Amino acid sequence: MRAAALALIALAFAAPARASEERPTAAELESELVCPVCETTLDTSNAPVALRMKAFIRARIAAGDTKSEIKASLVDQFGPAVLAVPPKRGFELVAWLLPLAGLALGAAVVGLLAWRWSHARGDEDEPPVDGDEPLDPALERRLDDELARYES
């Protein structure tokens, strides 16, 4: 029963993704591609090259090209920097993994420093254990007098 529910959920998400691949919209592609001149997404750029790229996208959609075909054609013309999101394969995978590794390393360093700081502070705050350091004889006499006065 649970497997059938998971399969239905997977199909519900797969159908829109496949439809998006086969019949992309100009707005969708323009938000996923970058203008090579101003380095903003096409949907926010009015540079002449961006306007030509938008016209190319509309023409390719009208011709029936898929999203991947249109992107591949623009990558061939302008290079992989035209993609707003780098592909998750090959060397570009570093662009995905490096920030995560940096966050993990930073969290580990902060955790280690906090642990060391808390243990170092804990040693200073602990009172000396009986027998660690002898009391000054004058202080010990005063303590005995105060305790005797308190008990009476």
Is pTM beyond 0.85? Reply is: no
Count of domains for the chain: 2
Q: Is residue 135 domain-shared with residue 106, that is, in the same domain? A: yes
Side chain identity at residue 73, one-letter code: S
Q: Kindly state the percentage of the chain with pLDDT values over 90.
A: 38
Give me the pLDDT at residue 106, please.
95
Q: Is residue 6 domain-shared with residue 74, that is, in the same domain? A: yes
Give me the pLDDT at residue 27, please.
92
> Residue range 5-25: average pLDDT?
59
Q: Is residue 73 domain-shared with residue 101, that is, in the same domain? A: no
31, 57, 85 — which closes off a domain? 85
Residue span of the structural domain in which 63 resides: 2-85
> Residue range 121-147: average pLDDT?
74
pLDDT-based confidence at 74, cuts 50/70/90? Answer: very high
Average pLDDT of the chain is 81
Q: Length of the chain, please?
A: 152
> Residue range 80-86: average pLDDT?
84
For 55-66, how does the pLDDT look when each residue is reduced to its tens digit (9 = 90+)? 999 999 999 999
Nearest to 70 by CA among 41, 37, 36, 28: 28
First to last CA, the chain: 79
Q: Are 35 and 42 in contact (CB under 8 A)?
A: yes
pLDDT-based confidence at 15, cuts 50/70/90? Answer: very low
Most confident range, picked from 10-19, 25-34, 94-103: 25-34
